[in-house]
Amino acid sequence: MATVRVPATSANLGSGFDALGLALALSADVSVSLAPHEGNGHSLAPMVATAARATYRKAGQPEPAELRVTWKDTDPERPIPIARGLGASAAARAAGIVAANALMGKPLTDDQLLSVGAELEGHADNIAPALFGGMQITVRDDDTWLHLRVPLASGLKIVLFVPDLEMPTRESRARLPQRLSREDAVFNVGRAALLVAALGQGAWELLDAATQDRLHQSARAELFPALDDIIDAARDGGAHGAYLSGAGSAIAAFATEGEERVARLMQQAAVARGFSGRSLITEPSAAGAELLDS
């Protein structure tokens, strides 16, 4: 048996579509063992097992005849939300990948683990921070995924509003535009670069501009029409910037003080538009998928 602690993640961060991701201090402990299929019946267990089997294939090893998966949120009162744009699928896949690699004696490199995860996810913005922690930049270069960890200034908190509304990634991505104008492309490229620099240097006053986006958020707001109001409420509460986390529906805000006020105003804005949900206050996690026991 191998047990892995794996974090939730937040991707895109507004302007960094499919390229930026951040590990969060919300986690689960996932155990994978070579035993008859049982476990606690968690909805993500099949995804963990599929990722584990893909890792065996990547290593050229026979797939296990049977796998048992057990999922336990590290804090039962703060579980990783599912289908809310907070990397639940990436967490499941990262856990399966790291556990399987451990069970085989760690034949695969970090880059190979990322390759397995990105192939399963279809992109690498969530799986890279789930595997390696911190804030990660990921870029596809032909058949290779390049990744680099970005330094983060201290003191940053992440305020989340997690709606009861689900936004499945496939449906959300189907609404994205097929083409962008040069003006909109330049708008996002510049802000993504500014975002990386601002987070690294603690230039919090630049985060409002740096999280703005013209590539994906307006299209996804068609599924969640309260999006702009909740982002505006976060800014009114003192957040430095706010954005749709991943494919949604969770909304994340960067703050360094007054987090409770930011959370309250975000929730009030959602309720005013007829959307229920809950608030969470967390922070970036330096840790990615950690092998606890094997």
Task: Answer yes or no: are the C-beta atoms of 48 and 32 closer than 8 Å.
Answer: yes
Largest CA distance in the chain: 56
> Residue type for 3, please?
T
Is 141 exposed, middle or buried (CB count within 10 Å of its CB: 0-12, 13-18, 19+)? exposed
Average pLDDT over residues 214-238: 92
Q: Give residue 39's pLDDT.
A: 63
pLDDT confidence bin for 31, thresholds 50/70/90? very high
Q: Can you tell me the mean pLDDT for 258-269?
A: 98
pLDDT at 168 over 90: no
Topology (CATH) of 157-282: Alpha-Beta Plaits (3.30.70)
- Cα distance between residue 116 and residue 188, in whole Å: 28
| Rounded-to-integer distance, Cα 224 and Cα 165, Å | 8
Residue 196 has pLDDT above 90, yes or no: yes
pLDDT recorded at residue 170: 73
8 A C-beta contact, residue 138 and residue 159: no
- Check pLDDT > 80 for residue 174: no
Average pLDDT over residues 183-210: 97
Domain map of the chain by residue range? 2-151+284-293, 157-282
What pLDDT score does 189 carry? Answer: 96
Are 2-151+284-293 and 157-282 in the same CATH fold?
Answer: no
SS (H, E, C) 105-124: CCCCCHHHHHHHHHHHHCCC
pLDDT band at 171 (very low <50, low <70, confident <90, very high): confident
Mean of pLDDT over the chain: 94
Give the pLDDT confidence score for residue 192 in this predicted structure.
Answer: 97
State whether CATH 3.30.230.10 applies to domain 2-151+284-293: yes
Give CA angle at 62 (58, 64), nearest 5°: 105
- Write the pLDDT tens digit of every residue in 269-290: 999 999 999 999 999 999 999 9
Distance CA 122, CA 174 (A): 14
- 238 and 179 in contact (C-beta within 8 Å)? no
pLDDT value, residue 38: 65
Rounded to whole angstroms, what are the CA distances from 23 to 53, 125, 237, 240? 24, 10, 24, 19
Distances (CA, A) of 80 to 8, 23, 33, 108, 290: 6, 12, 22, 27, 16
